[in-house]
Every structure is written in structure tokens, then in C-alpha cells.
Amino acid sequence: MNIIDELKAKVKGKNMKIVFPEGEDVRIMGAAIRLKKDGLITPILLGNIEEIEKVAKENNFDISDIEVIQPEKAEDFEELVDAFVERRKGKATKEQALEQIKVPNYYGTMMTYVGKADGMVSGAVNSTGDTVRPALQIVKTKPGVSRTSGAMVMLGKDGSRLLFSDIAINITLEPQQLAEVAVESAKTAKLFGIDPKVAMLSFSTKGSAKHELAERTIEATKIAKELAPDLALDGELQFDAAFVPSVGAKKAPGSDVAGKANVFIFPDLQAGNIGYKIAQRLGGYEALGPILQGLNKPISDLSRGCSEEDVYKLSIITAAQALAE
């Protein structure tokens, strides 16, 4: 059974409600119809009702059994406006909230926050910032987590499963934040059936190079071990030392992670983004995600170049995240 089939089995019949702020997009609509038909989630489409109906008609889609909401015309609009003002604690007036909650990403995030939806999937049309900003303002990060981060599940042709993080959100991270990403990434890995062995990556292995960048990873490793003392985690490790058993045994003898790692924490966004794309394009790995971590409720960010299939899969992942909360 592949990873998506495993997650389908978890969410099927659980009536998990996922809201889609980009309901007018044909990829979103097509995926929502499939998800509803397969009994995997209860989709909610947001947007201009007339435009959504027009797109459905043009593509011969039957959306008669899918809930469609135009935020400013919704019965609970005022309710969510007031809840937003309260949540922002003086950072937004009622007048400002009236305008912001008209924006589908804000309305969808509020639905998720108050429990009218179990999660949200956006980003097919909107930028990452437009998806993440409302999430950070409203849903916010979990206690003990100062930053959200993005993980990518990498699926090998041989059935192997790896997790790369952070590959989507933070350009640089301080040691404390990098340690938090490591701990959250291990939790994400478990959702996908990965028994986490976490490698804190660097261009240095166990002091082989001396530089402040390597020192940052060393410090992050120490903090992560304090945060999760039972977690199999080690660093600083070069990728070959983390991944190749013979190299790990030579460069980091006695490590319970070197040569066996399946969760890789990159030192910055540049390295992570390049790394997963090399694995995808040269190594033939399928990249699943990005999966946002560290939020109190699951909010998922699609790529603007996504396909309907990408929307379908990430929606299933989002529902599984909600179940795991």
C-alpha cells in the first residue's frame, strides 16, 4: 500500500471538513469533487458563487452536493468578523476586520480556527505569504514552537520514505528555531509511517570543519536533544554521513543516526530547497508537499504550478494531520 492509500484509509468516513479558499480554480474544484465522491473529506469551496458555478458549468462539473460559500454573503460573516477582532487583540478594528474577512484566505482560516472546518488548503492561486500570513495571525503556532516550517516527504521508486525540512518557509533560522523544526519534523514523519531518525545537516561532520555555520547546527542539535531526549537525532552531519551506512560508520562511529537517517534538517532554506529538488529531478524521488508544521490547526500551502492530483493528495494529508492533532 502506498503512502496516500494509507492516509486514505485513515481519513475515509471521518467526515473531515477541508476548506478551499480558491474555489473558482478548476484544479481545486476537480479535486474537491473527487474527494467528495471517494468519501475522503467534506470539501467547502470559497469564492464568488456566480464564478464558481460558471467554472463548474464550463467543465461539466456537478457541484450540487458541495457546500459553496461567498464570504461576505455568509450567514456567519459577522460572527467570524467579531471572532477575528477578539483574536487579534487590538491589532485590528471592526472596520478592518470587515474588509479582511471578505478575503477567502482569511475567512477560511477563521473557519478552521473556530472549528467550522478541520483544515484549509490554499496556494494554487495565492502566494505562500497570502496563505501563511492569516494562519500565523489567527491559528498561530503551537506552544513551544516559534516558527512554522515546511516539510517535503520524498518517496523513492524503491518504496523508501524520507522527510526534508525546512524547504519552504524560513530563509534562515537561529539554533533554537532549527531545533524546534527538527522536533516538529519528527512528528510529521510519524504521520507518514516513518520511524524518525533525524540528521541535523551541515557541510561538517563532528567537527571536521570549523565555522560559525557549523557551530549553529551543533548548537541546534544540543537544543533539540534537550527538547526531545528520546528522539533519535544527531548532528552535525554531512549528507553522505547521514545517509550512507559505510560513510556514517567511518565519519561518525557510534552514532545511532549516521548512515540510517530518514529525516533531514537542512541548515537554511537555500540548502533545503536545492536539496529536495536535486533528489526529485536527479534522484527520481516524488516530492509530496510542502506540508506546513508547527501550527495549532493544519493549513496547507500548494504550489501555484500544482495539478489537480497535487490538490487531491495534499487535501488527504491535511485531513490526516487534523485527525492526528
Positive or negative: CA dihedral 226, 194, 167, 135: negative
Percent of the chain with pLDDT over 90: 91
Q: Which of 106-110, 201-205, 289-293 has the lowest mean pLDDT?
A: 289-293
264 contacts: CB under 8 Å, gap ≥ 6: 162, 163, 164, 165, 198, 199, 201, 239, 242, 243, 275
Taking a C-beta distance cutoff of 8 angstroms, is the pair 294, 141 a contact? yes
- Provide the grid cell at 212: 560559525
Q: Which CATH architecture has domain 149-286?
A: 3-Layer(aba) Sandwich (3.40)
Please tell me the number of Cα atoms within 13 Å of 81 on its side-chain side. Answer: 19
**pLDDT given for residue 230 in this prediction:** 97
Residues 6+ away with beta carbon under 8 Å from 212: none
Is residue 313 classed as helix, strand or coil in its secondary structure? helix
For residues 129 and 67, the answer to whether their CB atoms sit within 8 Å is no
**Residue 118 near residue 298 (C-beta atoms within 8 A):** yes
DSSP state of 323: H
Measured between alpha carbons, how far is 174 from 168 in angstroms, rounded to an integer? 16
| Residue-wise pLDDT tens digits, 253-277 | 999 999 999 999 999 999 999 999 9
pLDDT tens per residue across span 192-233: 999 999 999 999 999 999 999 999 999 999 999 999 999 999
CA distances from 124 to 22, 186, 303 (A): 7, 27, 6
Specify the fold of 3-140+295-324: Rossmann fold (3.40.50)
Q: Give CA torsion, residues 246, 250, 252, 258, to 10 deg.
A: 0
pTM for this model (two decimals): 0.89
What pairs with residue 198 in β-bridges? 233, 263
Average per-residue pLDDT for the chain:
95
Residues 87-115 have a mean pLDDT of: 94
- Shared fold status for 3-140+295-324 and 149-286: yes
Which whole-number Å values give the CA distances from 163 to 91, 191, 318, 325, in the listed order? 37, 11, 16, 19
Give me the residue spans of the domains in the chain: 3-140+295-324, 149-286
Query: What is the model's pLDDT at position 128?
Result: 85
Q: Which grid coordinates are listed for 287?
A: 516530492
Angstrom distance (rounded) from CA 260 to CA 248 = 8
Over residues 244-251, mean pLDDT:
97
Higher local confidence (pLDDT), 1 or 240: 240
Quickly state the pLDDT bin for 1 (edges 50, 70, 90).
Answer: low
Give the span between the Cα atoms of 237 and 75, in whole angstroms.
54
How far apart CA 138 and CA 200 sit, in angstroms, is 31
User: For residue range 139-167, what is the model confidence (pLDDT) as tens digits?
Assistant: 999 998 999 999 999 999 999 999 999 99
The CA-based angle 223-226-231, given to 5 degrees, is 105
Nearest to 120 by CA among 297, 308, 291: 297
Neighbours of 69 (CB within 10 A): 24
CA 201 to chain centre: 20
